[in-house]
Copies of this chain bind each other. A is one copy, B any other.
Amino acid sequence: MKKRILIDMDGVLADVYARLFEMHEKETGKKLSPDEIAGKLEAEAFPSQRRWVSEPGFFRTLPVMKGSSEVVKKLSQKYDVIIVSLATEFPNSLTDKILWLHDHFPFISWKQIVFCGDKSFIKADIMIDDHPKNLDVFPGKTYIFTQPLNMLVNNSRHARVSSWAEIEQILL
């Protein structure tokens, strides 16, 4: 039986930070750097974040994380790939997120997508995520995908990965 791998969307498949930096600069005229917001959750780092992500359309046009589509396609051969997003907090995000997946990850079927408010009750073997809150309670093998919010996290239980090229090397 294939091992099941849970792959997060925002900050892992979708380059949400690229868009947040862009919108912050547009709204405030100030250009932030990843180091300036290291260790802060998105809502702390970008005061307007909740408003932005609540709007229809925000998630529809996010840039795709470099290499993610190619590597997830390869992973799908070897693993039971499930895309999991904590999305139910933002009702307008849901339709956008699924259409975005259809555009950029057309090999992922609707049966492999989970939108939820808590990842802790999904049975799987491996998790790739940028949020320690999801990784810390996951009983299987964990990979923390580097993003500003987790740059200061130093938990040896989670293997750190900073690109899809690295994930390809480790898991394939």
Q: A98 on the interface (CB 8 Å rule)?
A: yes
Contact between chains at A113 and B88 (CB < 8 Å): yes
Residue total for A at the interface (Cβ-Cβ under 8 A): 25
Contact between chains at A118 and B111 (CB < 8 Å): yes
Counted per complex, copies of this chain come to: 2
For A6, the closest partner residue in chain B by CB is: B121
Contact between chains at A94 and B115 (CB < 8 Å): yes
A116-B114, A123-B122 known; A95-B92 Cβ under 8 A:
yes
For A89, the closest partner residue in chain B by CB is: B110
Contact between chains at A112 and B117 (CB < 8 Å): yes
For A109, the closest partner residue in chain B by CB is: B117
Residues 107-139 of chain A, each 1 if its beta carbon lies under 8 Å from chain B, else 0: 001111111111001111000000000000000
